[in-house]
Structure 1
Amino acid sequence: MSDALSLNSCCNARGELPVDLGRQSILDQVEALSAVETVPLADALGRVLAEDIRSPINVPGHDNSAMDGFAIRFSDLSENASSSLALAGEALAGHPYAGTLPGGSAIRIMTGAMMPDGADTVVMQEIVTCDEQQVQIPAGIKAGQNRRRAGEDIARDSIALTRNTLVQAAEMGLLASLGVGQVQVKRRLKVAVLSTGDEVCAPGSAVDTGQIYDSNRFSLQGLLAPLGVEVIDLGIIADDPALLAEAFASAARSADMIITSGGVSVGEADYVKQTLERIGQIHFWKMAMKPGRPLAFGRIENAVFFGLPGNPVAVMVTFLQFALPAIRKMQGLDNWQPLTLPARAAERLRKRAGRTEFQRGIFNRDDAGQLLVASSGTQGSGVLSSMSRANCLIILPSDQEDVDQGDVVDIQPLLF
């Protein structure tokens, strides 16, 4: 943790750490899980491959037609004139033509059907004329056209998918096309989520004066759900030192990562900070960002700990900028960086230099195809309604001041 402490020299005059340095420090202190397990293909969605997948077959498994048409032998065509070939039969997907293509003949063939022996070219049906006995082929046909070669997509014994690949819909289909019935994947990351505070109560219950409903835990579960992790919901823990210590210790025994919100700001009257300092190795940072200035990061036993700020929007923004990259690295993914795109501001955006701001925005394309972005509404860190309306974060660097209409900014699409 001494490396994290040395970051103090990189803080600004207010003692705030730049976002990029904070993120990199976190990534330097987490490691990918090493445990693997074998799962059926049907259970592999959202998992990370623990091994290279070598193809046991050629894909496609045989030469086949790329479209509906007529399979021919190119040498049977006249060089500069149309050619008349005898219609010798047909080949359907799953029902190949039996035998070898006779000289001077053509076979009607459907997309995906196996190329007949002796045929090397497919002529699309739209450019020929034919009856039940003859096919008239125009001049200008190229040898080998519209023919897919065996192994053209994936050759037998080649690496079809590399280890540390996230298995999504396309990978599921690809694995199935290879006949792979089970795969080795990284163990699921276990993430414990809890809320703290006597003022927090569960949705669906009555609130007393001064109490609030627990929204942060549900936002965090929504952010975690698409990531292929196992979420451990520990509920709400009251402001009691013994209860907090037991909850954090229990979470550390069952989870790889613990995420909580609130209790990490200077001056907050609760027991979270003192409990964390007593049972774990925790650093409390002030990040040069808005929203989301306070952040706690460290370990309790073997579990990585994130203490996010208490404001609802700040929770979501800090999760995306710090916890999400750590989760992706711990899962073993090589490419965890979030997608960012350039867009033109559709309106003036207010900004003071000094902190990186993540403003909630709505982006779309204009009639010319240019990406435009505008604010989704009030930018207060407790205003979840503008986060609900947003489909992106507008990333404004620390030294950026007001953005004029038409200026180019970076946006981070919200993919949840």
Structure 2
Amino acid sequence: MEPVRSRPVETAPVEIADHRRLVMSLAPEPAVVEMPLERCLGLVSARPLTARLAVPPFTNSAMDGFAVRLEDVRDATPGHPVRLPVAGDIPAGSPAAEPLEAGTAMRIMTGAPMPVGADAVVKVEQTDHAPGITSPPAEVAIFEAPEPGANVRRCGEDLQIGDPVLEAGRVLDGPCLAAAASVGHGLLAVRPTPRIGVISTGSELSGAGQELAAGSIPDSNGVLLAGLVADAGAVVTEQARVPDDPARLREVITGWDVDLVITAGGISAGAYEVVRQGLPELTFHKVAQQPGGPQGAGVVGATPVIALPGNPVSVYVSFHVYARPLIAALRGLAAEPPMVRAGAGAAWRSPAAKTQFMPVRWEDGTAVPVHRLGSKSHLVASLPLVEGLAVVPAGVDAVAPGDALDVLVTRGGIQ
């Protein structure tokens, strides 16, 4: 195959912030959809949520025991219990009971509505009634006088109708959904999960596990990107491995209905750079960073495309620096990457003319390179060890133990 000539690679590198601005400009305003609460796990709330119900929605018992009037039991002691006839039984889920008559008690279960007239609940352990699955007694002995309101949850004591519950832009986990359900919501306004298309490029690529022909290598970038997309809270709905055929690349992308396409490979200065050749409408940069200098971004038709370099560590670094913030924006989240400040746990070299993203792991609270060869872009076998990317600014050619660095957290937190 004859190489297709593309625009020349720019010789002057651009700053990371400039390319990141280009990438983030691709993010449209995320859509808003209403979905049943049980399908919203992991989605992002699009609007603030307020209580439609009070919490608790009615005054109820906080304990299994006996609802009483204070004046009837104020003199109860272990040595001189007060004995009261039991006028009723109130299980959880029952409608409101009849009013509690003076000189009587009612057995009541946790969460059951308090009868009108009752001031407190005496725990079953403070009576002569055996706890457990039993019938209500005809009479109960009260061994201790309760405080006013003891073991009673008042209507609205946690939340009143109209009180704020969840802010917009919140990732909805189990506790969030439980809170929404408890205040009366069955439908939630959310941002839909971004649909991502992933393309690994190169005629040398073979499927994972396939026998390799001469000159072939396994396609690790496709599975790497699919996993990183899932970790970022999006879903891969399309995936392809495209040879060095610019027309085929364009055909694949224009045939997909996705919110974002991420490609790996084909953007450097070689003769067969399929993404540069097949997608000339993208802007391609040499960014002043290591690894992952070649970068591209733009729109094909109406679809945003991020073009990453082809070496796996460069893919990993570039995804976290550029693609992950864009996916966050598509989800309706703040796009700033999670950074922490940490000391270096070892010495290493850095290219002074570039910002270095050193793959590191945590060791006693310090950042230590995961591989003795540092940040070279082909060290794919070290990726399972990476927990963050230590950011060494341009102008620094060496890192010493104890030097304070920003670390972009890619997995977990400081250990």
Which of these residues, 123, 132, 136, is aligned with residue 144 of structure 2? 136
Match of 1:10 in 2: none
Report the Cα distance in structure 2 between the residues aligned to 1:115 and 1:87, rounded to whole angstroms: 20
Q: Is the 8 A contact 2:43 2:190 kept in 1?
A: yes
Q: After superposition, where does 1:3-402 map in structure 2 within 5 Å?
A: 15-34=12-31, 36-64=32-60, 86=82, 93-94=92-93, 98-99=97-98, 112=111, 114-115=113-114, 117-118=116-117, 131=128, 133-136=141-144, 148-251=153-256, 254-267=257-270, 269-277=272-280, 280=281, 282-333=282-333, 335-363=334-362, 371-378=365-372, 379=374, 380-402=376-398
CA distance in 2, matches of 1:397, 1:144: 62
Mark the runs of 5 or more structure 1 residues left unpaired by the alignment. Answer: 1-13
| CA spacing shift, 1:271–1:404, aligned 2, 3 Å | closer
Q: How many pairs does the alignment contain?
A: 385
Looking at structure 2, the residues matched to 404 and 84 of structure 1 have their Cα atoms a distance apart, in angstroms, of 76
The counterpart of 1:413, out of the listed 406, 409, 414, is 409
Aligned partners of 1:85 and 1:105 also within 8 Å: no
Question: Take 2:351 and 2:357, find their aligned partners in 1: how far apart are those partners?
Answer: 12
Query: What is the CA distance between 1:193 and its match in structure 2?
Result: 1.0
Measured in 2, the distance between the counterparts of 1:45 and 1:386 equals: 32
1:202, distance to aligned residue in structure 2 (A) = 1.2
Change (3 A) 1:91 1:26: same
Query: 1:329–1:336: 8 Å Cα contact kept in structure 2?
Result: yes
SS at match of 1:235: strand
**Distance of 2:36 and 2:298 partners within structure 1:** 35
Q: Given the superposition, is the C-alpha separation of residues 336 and 144 from structure 1 closer, same or farther in structure 2, using an over 3 Å criterion? A: farther
1: distance between equivalents of 2:279 and 2:178? 45
The amino acid that maps onto 2:296 is: A
The structure with the larger Rg is 2
Deviation, structure 1 residue 129: 6.0
Q: Residue type of the partner of 1:46?
A: G
TM-score (norm: length of structure 1): 0.76
Query: What does the per-residue CA deviation read over 1:74-100, in whole Å, with 9 as the maximum and x for residues that have no partner?
Result: 89998xx99987476687654699455
The answer to whether the 8 A contact 1:256-1:303 is kept is yes
Return closer, same or farther for 1:129/1:162 CA change in 2, 3 Å cut-off. closer
CA shift for structure 1 position 194 = 1.1
Partner letter of residue 32 of structure 1?
E
List per-residue Cα deviations over 1:293-329 (Å, max 9, x = no partner): 1110111111111000111011121111111111221
> Is the CA contact 2:26–2:299 (under 8 Å) kept in the aligned structure 1?
no
Contact 2:386–2:411, Cα closer than 8 Å, also in 1: no
Paired residues of 2:267 and 2:273 also in contact (CA < 8 A): no
Q: Once the 2 structures are TM-superposed, how far is the Cα of residue 255 of structure 1 from its aligned partner?
A: 1.9
**Partner Cα distance (1:45, 1:70) in 2:** 39
Partner Cα distance (1:27, 1:402) in 2? 31
Distance 1:304 1:76, change over 3 A: farther
Question: Root-mean-square deviation (CA), in Å?
Answer: 3.7
* Cα distance change on mapping 1:197 and 1:150 into 2, 3 Å: same
Deviation string 1:45-92 (CA, Å, 9 cap, x unpaired) is 2333344444321122123456678877789998xx999874766876
Q: Give, in whole Å, the separation in 1 of the partners of 2:172 and 2:391.
A: 29
Report the CA distance between 1:123 and its aligned residue: 8.3
Q: What is the alpha-carbon distance in structure 2 between the residues aligned to residue 75 and residue 258 of structure 1?
A: 73
Tell me the percent identity: 33
Give 1:386 shift.
Answer: 1.7
Paired residue type of 1:199: E
Which AA in structure 2 matches 1:27? M
Using the TM superposition, give the Cα deviation of residue 182 of structure 1 relative to its aligned residue in structure 2, in angstroms.
3.2
Aligned counterparts of 1:145 and 1:136: Cα–Cα separation in 2: 12
Are the counterparts in 1 of residues 23 and 306 from structure 2 also a CA contact under 8 Å? no
Q: Structure 2 length as normaliser, TM-score?
A: 0.77
Unaligned runs of 5+ in 2: 1-10, 130-140
